[in-house]
Amino acid sequence: MTRIFVLLVLICLRPFAFAQETVTIPKSRLEELERKEAELEKLKGTTQPALQNPAAKKQDEAVPQNSPPQTSVSTRPPAADEIRSLASLPPLEKETVVPAIDLAAQYRASATQADERYRKRAFRVQGEIVGFEKPALVRNYYILLKTAEPQTRVICDFYPPENFKAVYTINAGTVLVGTLPDTRVPIARIGDNVTIEGRCKGLSGGGVKLTNCELKVAK
């Protein structure tokens, strides 16, 4: 009986609870709220970010944001007047004197054309001595002549006279000397301007090499 009474009370109180949750507002206030809501939606629409061009977006994504600007590197070819045309040179003879700087430059410009003129030919090369090399276990020694590019040296291969017991450098490698049974003979020193006769072997050992060389003039 008690349970039935409680249920009846709850049923009677339910409409009252719904009435408490329902709020009645004037129609003018409702229209004002709807108008403000429409204005708010309109403002939201104008603040939306514009769609980006898909192609431009892909291009932007392909380039890292922090990458440095791209720069183009161009290699300037040698000017026409920097290297004398091999075809314009006079015939090569044994007494022809070729500057070491020109010989190295011609091989840098075209090793094939330079070989056609110089390889297996005997002639004279002139230049400033910039160094000496003495390979181990052989009697040969090299005199190195100055060029515009250290990567392309002119290497003159000498075989010392039989009466020399040895050939070596002194004074921190600046002077080349040969030893005789009773004395020491200076051969050349760095800074000397020399003329050397030899037979061209072409590119070899990191430069243009001449073999069977003979020192003709040293100042």
Q: What is the CATH number of the domain that holds 208?
A: 2.40.50.140
Q: Is 159 helix (H, G, I), strand (E, B) or coil?
A: coil
From residue 68, alpha-carbon distances to 37, 58, 65, 71, 175 in Å are 49, 19, 9, 9, 50
Looking at the 3D structure of the chain, how many domains does it have? 1
Phi/psi of residue 153, nearest 5 degrees: -90, 160
Residue 146 domain-assigned (yes or no): yes
pLDDT of residue 19: 45
Structural domain including 106 reads: 89-158+190-218
Q: What is the pTM of this model?
A: 0.61
Residue 47 domain-assigned (yes or no): no
Measured over the CA atoms of residue 108, residue 111, residue 116 and residue 122, the dihedral's sign is positive
Mean pLDDT confidence for 204-215: 94
Q: Which of 16-30, 57-71, 96-110, 158-172 shows the lowest per-residue confidence on average (mean pLDDT)?
A: 57-71
Give the strand pairing for 207-218 and 153-158: parallel
Q: How far is Cα 141 from Cα 139, in angstroms, rounded to an integer?
A: 7
